[in-house]
Amino acid sequence: GDKLFTEEWICAVSVLHLHRNPSVFENPESFNPDRFLPENCSKIPSYSFIPFSFGSRMCIGYRLAMIEMKIFLATILRNSTVESVAKDIKNNISVSLYPRRSFQLRMKSEI
């Protein structure tokens, strides 16, 4: 029915339930990082996944988490050798140089 929201009301979003919404995420209880690949992200409605919230009250740990992920990735790459699986990679030349199509990388650990 019709409800009148007043300033006394408190509105809260359960991020736990938002991130496990079966109408948005297939098998929401299973660990599936592939659901966030670029080709799958377009299927996820805006603000359906907000691990750090958003706006002026966004989690203050967001930047720290991003820095930690970059350090983690840099540590892995520093101790590994990365090479292209493809023999010949064609590039597009624009303001920046980028490959014409995606390609696979092979990573070997040095540890």
Residue 59 marked as a ligand binder: yes
Two tokens, residue 62? 């967001």
H-type helices in 10-61, by residue range? 15-18, 38-41
Return d(Cα 101, Cα 88) in angstroms, integer: 11
Q: Are 102 and 86 in contact (CB under 8 A)?
A: no
From the annotation, which residues make up the binding site for heme? 59
From the annotation, which residues make up the binding site? 59
